[in-house]
Amino acid sequence: MVVGPGSASVNVQIREATLADAEPIWQLHNRSILALCADDYSPAQLADWVAHSTLARQQTRLQQHRVFVAEQEGQLIGFVRWNPATNELCSLFVDPDFVRQGVATALMDTACQDARACGVTEFWLDASLTAVPFYQATGWQPGKPMTHHGLACLRMTKQLG
């Protein structure tokens, strides 16, 4: 699958994650937070956010949730995770070197398709302030301001029907 605008396009393969992806997912998650969210949260908030995300937690989530990864030439460049028990889109992160090339859109489309196949009609999430413009651009409706582990965020919903 080729995603992204014109010359910035990137050849992306999307597949369901396995337990072997836990460590690269964990590393990408933390790298993405530190590089991309620094304009929206303080250094202390970023440090807490990263500290809260442990490898063991990623492994547990891989077993309990639906997770898909995006790869380019075998390198992990993004992932998405949703929880079939709550219909929450829990995580969507892209490698800082691959942003604005349609990778998150392709991952989100995959998660939406997967959820639809499971009979889900609406997704919800607590969007980081950093990600709100992305979600607004991709059809999510804004709701209430929330806090998630002490971080300001915005509840958003998306109809999947």
Q: Which residues are at the interface with ligand COA (CB under 6 A)?
A: 5, 32, 36-37, 92-94, 99-105, 127-128, 130-131, 133-134, 137-138
The dihedrals phi and psi of 91, each to the nearest 5 degrees, come to -150, 135
Nearer to ligand COA, 22 or 37 (CB): 37
CA 62 from centre of chain: 13
Contacts with 108 (C-beta within 8 Å, 6 or more apart), sequence order:
80, 89, 92, 138
Do 89 and 80 meet the contact criterion of CB atoms below 8 Å apart? yes
The CB-of-129 to ligand COA minimum distance in angstroms stands at 8
The CB-of-25 to ligand COA minimum distance in angstroms stands at 12
Nearer to ligand COA, 70 or 119 (CB): 70
Do 99 and 36 meet the contact criterion of CB atoms below 8 Å apart? yes
Nearer to ligand COA, 59 or 136 (CB): 136
- Quote the CA–CA distance of 132 and 135 in Å, as a whole number: 5
**Residue nearest to ligand COA as judged by C-beta position:** 104
The CB-of-150 to ligand COA minimum distance in angstroms stands at 15
Nearer to ligand COA, 42 or 138 (CB): 138
The CB-of-58 to ligand COA minimum distance in angstroms stands at 15
Task: Look at the chain and count its residues.
Answer: 161
